[in-house]
Structure 1
Amino acid sequence: MSSPGGQVFDNLDGLIEDLETASTVPAKRRKTGIKSTIEKTTATLYETGALPDELARLVDLLTIRNFLDQASLGAIVRNLYPSGKVSDEVVLRFLGALGHGQLKPSLYLQALFLRWLVMVYHLLENSAVLSQAYGVLFNLLDTAAIRPQLCHLLALVTRRKHVRPFRIQAILNLSRQTSGDPNLTGLLRVFKNYYPEVIVGDITKGRAASFKHPDPQWRARLDEIQKQRSEREADPAIRNGFAVSHDLGRRLKGTKHLFPTVHTMHAQESSVTLEEIDNAESFVKKLEKIELPTQLVAVLADPLLQKLLLLRPDAEGFSRISNWLMACLGDVASGDADSDIFLDILEVIHDYAVATNSLSPLLLTFFAQFLEVWDGSKKRDVVVETLSFAPVMKFEELYRILRVLEQSMLDNTPSSQVSLLRFYTLLLRRWTITMEAAERLDALPADTVPNLIGYVNQLTLTLTQTSPTVGTFLDIIDFYEAAATLYSKPKLIEHIDITIPPPLLVYLLYFSPSLAVVSRLCGILTTYKRAWEAVMSPAVSRGLTRRERDQINVFNGFLMDLCNCLWRGRAFSTTDANAQGCRITQQAQASLGSYLSAVDPDLGLATAFGLSHSPLLCLQSISHVRELEDAEMATIRTRHAGPVTEASLGQLAHRGGLRLSWQEYRSGVLAYMEAKGFPGIPNLMYNTMKKLMSTRQH
């Protein structure tokens, strides 16, 4: 057996047989160790899971006293992924291994057994088996080593019939003895849900365990193994989306079950229903004759019905879907239905938007009304990702939705502002794809894009004040990279005005403490520069708009200021054309200069932000020199102490050190940064400095 990546996995049956043999022989008498066998077994379990028979054999190894060491047994339990349902026999074997006794597994292993039962609870063939053993499990609560896992399992199993006065009293007594064990308090809260009038007092108000899933990553891997198995066994037509999924109601959990499955009522003998379709060929041949199902809202969850309405749009059908959704919205708004129902409906709409890569106008209308009743926090990621599929529309129409979204989301915290910014980034990326794929771009409201970028400019500036962290700066960079990507498309630049980031934002990002931020910022400015050059070239039929003319000198100021800092040794100069001195006042420059001269009299403010002295770039610069010196160790007698200057390079050569010109050094540093994954600064320099342009061309 092998994985898609090519790694070969052993036959699990043979590995179990080897372990069974080794388990009967004491470790000192074994001719070979079992460490490699355990490693192969756990790797195979992780990749493919265990079939029911294999699972039963492994459980025997774990629960029957043998000569396998505890570490090996623990490794097997932690990787015991069932590929199917868990039988009653397996559950009972684990339950029988609990408790005290010479032949019982260690309490450490018992805790792992209980934890495993919690994690596979949803896969039990018969969950009633745990209910029948409730008394046995409850009587083990006085064993502290397994109490956390035991309380979690009991919390899952507990039903009204299990809550008895003597059990309530037993937990209360044990809780007092253990000074309010959070696990017992959590279990008592479960009891109180069934009989709130019986359990009174402050005992349940203490710190309580939340009984969350012990290992979400383990659960994710288990789900993947189960999914692979179900796909192997499922009908290929259903997997490929060319058959109605009749088990939809079973797959949709919770209140999502409100969504009806595809069903065509009152079908006649001559009718062609969607339920009859079982492959792509049948679907294509009968496309025009297929009758629409009774409940069209099933389109939000059924892939085949989605295909039918995409290929054969029906205005009346979409109206029916809209009426159903609006009725749900009305029930929530009036208080006749729980808002959680609405959030579950929203998840299905999200899946539909992802599947179709669009949010139709009727769903967008529904969405706009949903935002008015949404609390702004529940399932925020689902909400913003779904809304990011909104079609390109006039900014006035978009703003009506954005205004409600912001009123719901923004709560005067940086996290809500960052979430909003991430939404705008997603939206801009999807719009870029939509517009590039459009046959007639002039039919779309292209003015929306520069208006949106200008609108988000205010949000990004706000974030630099409310959350001036590297993480926030990277989120801001993500948005402007999406904008730069849009402006790099020749087809789009023909119709869309260039909108630059705010000057203050550029300088704040440039002086951030992260090389990644600065490198990506320079990469963005490089892309913008190429876009300006494209607009002003004959290749683009349109000329500069008034909005663009107002911005181009400001943008050229960015480039001049950054080049002055990085390359020309003239940081904060305002004497060059378009230079803005990074918008730092003369008074501030004087103060900085005085401070710097006090710290290092040999370093001036004008050169303090160059390749050699910049706090962000000095390590890259001296590392480049060290690499060159290491390659010439046989011929040089001394190393450069750093930081590198044009004068120090000349002195170094006279003392028998590396012979390197100032230009070679700076070009080498740029190449070094590019090789280390920071191409933004080199690209900006090569696209801005005329002397460097010619060197890269050659």
Structure 2
Amino acid sequence: MSLLLPPSDRLEDLLGDLEAASKLPARSRLTSIKSTVEKATSLLYDQGAPPEELARLVDLLTQSNELDQASLAAITRNLYPSDKVDDEIVLRFVGALGHGCLKPSFPLQCLFLKWLVMVHHLLQNPTILSQVYGVLFNLLATAAIRPQLCHLLALITRRKHVRPFRIQSILNLSRQTGGDPNLTGLLRVFKNYYPEIIVGELTKGRAATFKHPDPNWRERLNEIQQQQQLSRQNDDGGTRNGFAVNSAIGRQMRGVRALFPAVHTQHAQESSVTLEEIDNAEALVRNLDKIELPTQLVAVLGDPLLQKLLLLRPNSEASSRVSNWVMACVGDVASGDADPALLLDMVEVIRDYAVSTKWLPPLLLSFFAKEFLPTWNGKDKQDMVFEALSLIPLLKFQDLFQILQPFENAILDNTPTTQLSLLSFYTTLLRRWGVLLQASPNLESLPLATIPDFITHVNTLTLALTQTSPRIPTFLAILDFYDAAAIGIYSRPKLLRHVNISIPPPLLVYLLTFSPSLAVVSRLCSILAAYKRAWESVMTSPTLRRQLTKRERDQVNIFNGFLMDICNCLWRGRAFSTTDLNAQGCRIPRTILPSLEAYVRSVDEDLSLGILFGLSHSPVLSLESISFVRELEDTEQGVLSRHAGPVTQPSLNQLATRGGLRLTWQDYRAGVLRYLDKKGLPGIPDLMYNTMKNLMKTRQSLSGS
């Protein structure tokens, strides 16, 4: 949150003062401009320059005016853009380069070129400098700006820019200057594209390394960009657009990334297309089938463009090389030749690779299961580990458990926080599997038995959470997981034909049924309704009907039990009854019921235990039920008496005789269901309409009419 500054200390006002001063010679000004420059540079350092102010500043720097060189240089050194850099800004700086009486001084031009190098990753149009490549190249003869110019050219050079006349021009200029290291460095960049053409001895001389001109300046720029939330930086402080290779020039790679080779295609032919030539999405699509793979395919771990290419054009050799490289790094750590912290760095690399390719190869899974997870403390780079492992493919459960077991051992520390983190991860994993299965053209080839086994495995975790963290947010997180199963998988006819159904544990269902949150109860009922439709489809639908397994037949009986119990509580006024078929009485011990019934009678003689959890008396539904009645009374004309609540069948009859609302018991209950649906709580109506036969007929008659 930025502070409101006095008018004289706002960048826009300071710019106005600078522009006015630039038109007057120093001796004609009434006050010194030095303090204004200091305030402006301070604001630029703190907040950066927005696009409009940046354009005005560039005009001030590139056009001939009366400001002194020290002031112009100070502004240039603090010219931090807070947003992307427009093409017009770049072209103004390029146009200010070279000889001429109206051109800025050469020291100032050097600063311009240095600035273009440092903001190269923030250009709105990454190809703009490529479009003026010829203009920049022709300025190489200007010795005063040659070092910075060579650096910029090395940064933007692509294969299409390397032409025989340019090679010859650099060779001639290098001979004239006695082997300028900057020219030699640029020539080496050219040689990377045509090693068989450039064979001169000049490339073997001392060459500039083209390091970043000012790491501290770049670090401050990154902070400004992050504060403005307009750009996300990668490890070298740049923004990758994903459609150009990551050049190693100007980068200071750290950790395991320092081991990556840059994308480079050797032995390229004149007619071939290399990855280094691609600089936008259109070029990638146009040349997808023609692009030659780079020499060192392990570069895929660090380069987004190569990742996209291998995703669109899978290559088994690349996967093999990546896996071998990872295992070689693991071997170095095991033998003591590398720091154990290298494994943590590798997790970040593998995460980037997996997220880009949407796939974790078997050897990388083996790395997690055997090398990383057994030694991981469960905290370092946790988000990255979660994100990488959320891309685990659907494996046989025995193989999956070889990964989940060390993962759980590392994560869990007997606290609800870690249990919730694990449950959230499992929910993400199950949702992703559901999407992948729905898109799969050959389900029979997949280990689909893993889905019910996995859900059964997570059942233990959800039950534990009801004891360690019996809170509403925890219950909602638990329901997220079963929603991913019921809605994401069992509601899909394509999947239901092949995937066995696995229900939530009965104890969990009963605990959530008596939750103090209506949102929890409503979501639970929605999930149970989805499960019920899935069972019906499997057993009755001509297209989905299949033979139930013994496990599924046992689960049908259990499911019918708690379905009947919920209906007895919510709808039938027979809570905890066991007289109906399949009813389990919510598994309340029978010996406790007389005590509960006696307590209810002692509170109110007109109450009974059976109706205490129905629409009218339930702690989570009583407010909605009476609110429905209140709305009817407010819209009804001539109501002489209002219902005091809670509503019962006898109270409705008495209300009608006193001149109150005329409403039957069935219409009241159906109206409450409609009211809940209108309020965004469709779960209970959904379950009741799909379970109670009289309501099914009512809905069918309404839809038929």
CA distance in 1, matches of 2:333, 2:414: 27
* Alpha-carbon distance in 1 for matches of 2:435, 2:452: 16
Aligned-partner Cα distance in 2 for 1:84–1:285: 27
Structure 1 residue 335 displacement after superposition: 5.4
List aligned pairs for 1:566-581, cutoff 5 A: 566-581=570-585
For residues 684 and 667 of structure 1, the distance between their equivalents in structure 2, rounded to whole angstroms, comes to 13
Contact 1:523 1:679 in 2 (8 A): yes
1:135-166: CA deviation from partner (whole Å, max 9, x where unpaired)? xxxxxxxxxxxxxxxxxxxxxxxxxxxxxxxx
1:567 partner SS: helix
C-alpha spacing 1:577/1:346, structure 2 compared with 1 (3 Å) = same
Partner of 1:671: 674
Aligned to 1:305: 306
Aligned to 1:662: 665
Q: Take 1:308 and 1:17, find their aligned partners in 2: how far apart are those partners?
A: 49
2:607 partner letter: L
> Aligned-pair distance for 1:53?
6.4
State how 1:488-567 maps to structure 2 within 5 Å.
488-537=491-540, 538-567=542-571
**Whole-angstrom CA distance in 2 between matches of 1:496 and 1:490:** 10
Q: How does 1:163-312 map to 2 (within 5 A)?
A: 222-226=227-231, 239=241, 241-246=242-247, 250=251, 255=255, 257-258=257-258, 260=260, 262-264=262-264, 266-270=266-270, 272-279=273-280, 282-283=283-284, 287=288, 290-312=291-313
Amino acid of the structure 1 residue aligned with 2:82: P
Tell whether the 8 Å contact from 1:565 to 1:606 is kept in structure 2 after alignment.
Answer: yes
Give the distance between the partners of 1:379 and 1:338, measured in 2 at CA. 17
The Cα shift of 1:84 comes to 6.6
Question: Hey, what does 2:418 align to over in structure 1?
Answer: 416
Give deviations 1:620-678, integer Å, cap 9, x for gaps. Answer: 1111111112223x521222111111111111122222221111111111111111111
Q: Which moved more, 1:537-546 or 1:562-571?
A: 537-546
2:529–2:690 Cα contact (<8 Å) kept: yes
Structure 1 residues 254, 475: CA separation in 2 closer, same or farther (over 3 Å shift)? farther
Deviations 1:29-72 (A, max 9, x none): xxxxxxxxxxxxxxxx999776436799xxxxxxxxxxxxxxxx
**Partner amino acid, structure 1, of 2:515:** S
1:485-541 superposed Cα distances (whole Å, 9 cap, x missing partner): 200000101111111111111101111111111111100100000000000122214
Select the residue among 405, 408, 414 that pairs with 2:407: 405
Paired residue for 2:375?
373
Tell me, yes or no, if the aligned pair for 1:523 and 1:680 is still in contact at 8 Å. Answer: yes
CA deviation after TM superposition for structure 1 residue 83, in Å: 3.0
> Do the aligned partners of 2:576 and 2:584 also contact (CA within 8 Å) in 1?
yes
Partner of 2:470: 468
Name the CA distance, whole Å, in 2 between partners of 1:354 and 1:424.
17
Distance in 2, matches of 1:553 and 1:49, equals 67
Residue 406 of structure 1 deviates from its aligned partner by 1.2
Partner of 1:353: 354
Please give the alpha-carbon distance, in whole angstroms, between the structure 1 residues aligned to 2:406 and 2:249: 33
Q: What is the match of residue 429 of structure 1?
A: 431
Q: State the distance in 2 between where 1:639 and 1:221 align.
A: 60
Of 380, 387, 390, which residue of structure 1 is paired with 2:392? 390
Question: C-alpha deviations, 1:314-334, integer Å up to 9, x for none?
Answer: 333322211222233344455
Q: Return the alpha-carbon distance in structure 2 between the equivalents of residues 522 and 47 of structure 1.
A: 54
Distance 1:293 1:373, change over 3 A: farther
- Note the C-alpha offset of 1:261: 5.6
- Structure 2 counterpart of 1:564, which letter? N
TM-score, with normalisation over the residues of structure 1?
A: 0.66
Q: Aligned runs of 1:574-593 on 2, under 5 Å?
A: 574-593=578-597
Q: CA deviation at 1:546?
A: 1.5
**Is it true that 1:680 corresponds to 2:669 in the alignment?**
no
Deviation at 1:559, TM superposition (A): 1.1
**Pair 1:505–1:16, CA change in 2 (3 A):** same
Deviations 1:354-383 (A, max 9, x none): 222222223222222321221112222321
- Give, in angstroms, the shift of residue 269 of structure 1: 4.0
User: Kindly tell me: are residues 652 and 302 of structure 1, through their superposed partners in 2, closer, same or farther at Cα, counting changes over 3 Å?
Assistant: same
Q: Structure 1 residues 532 and 249, CA, compared in 2 at 3 Å: closer, same or farther?
A: farther
Q: Determine the structure 2 residue equivalent to 1:690.
A: 693
Label 1:638 to 1:49 Cα distance change in 2 as closer, same or farther (>3 A): farther
1:572-604 per-residue CA deviation (whole Å, 9 max, x = no partner) reads: 000000000000011222222222222222211
Which residue number in structure 2 is paired with residue 323 of structure 1?
324
Q: 1:641 to 1:333 in 2, by over 3 A?
A: farther
Query: What are the Cα deviations for residues 211-251 of structure 1, in whole angstroms up to 9, with x where unaligned?
Result: xxxxxxx98873532469xxxx99xxx73x4432337985x
Whether the 8 Å CA contact 2:54–2:81 is kept in 1: the answer is no
Structure with greater Cα Rg: 2
Q: 1:286 to 1:673 in 2, by over 3 A?
A: closer
| Percentage of identical aligned residues | 59
Q: Secondary structure at the match of 2:404?
A: helix
CA contact (8 A) 1:248 1:261 kept: no
Q: How does 1:614-653 map to 2 (within 5 A)?
A: 614-632=618-636, 634-653=637-656
For structure 2, list consecutive stretches of 5 or more residues without a partner in the other structure: 1-9, 18-46, 59-79, 86-117, 120-222
Q: 1:84 to 1:283 in 2, by over 3 A?
A: closer
Aligned residues: 501
Deviation at residue 680 of structure 1 after TM alignment: 0.5
Residue 618 and residue 279 in structure 1: after superposition, are their counterparts in 2 closer, same or farther (change >3 A)?
same
| Residues in 2 aligned to 1:620 and 1:259: alpha-carbon distance in whole angstroms | 63
Contact 1:318–1:362 (Cα < 8 Å) also in 2: no
Task: Report the Cα offset of residue 681 of structure 1.
Answer: 0.5
2:95 is aligned to none
In the alignment, the residues of structure 2 paired with residue 248 and residue 627 of structure 1 have an alpha-carbon distance, to the nearest angstrom, of: 71
Deviations 1:537-583 (A, max 9, x none): 22214222221111111101111100000000000000000000000
Q: Is the 8 A contact 2:48 2:82 kept in 1?
A: no
1:445-464 aligned within 5 A: 445-464=447-466
The Cα RMSD (Å) is 3.4
Tell me which residue corresponds to 2:609. Answer: 605
Q: Hey, what's the Cα distance between the residues in 1 that align with 2:295 and 2:339? A: 26
CA pair 243-265 structure 1, distance change in 2 beyond 3 A: closer
1:483 maps to which residue? 485
Indicate conservation of the 8 Å contact 2:633/2:661, yes or no.
yes
Normalised by the size of structure 2, how large is the TM-score?
A: 0.65
Q: CA deviation at 1:410?
A: 1.4
State the distance in 2 between where 1:669 and 1:19 align.
65
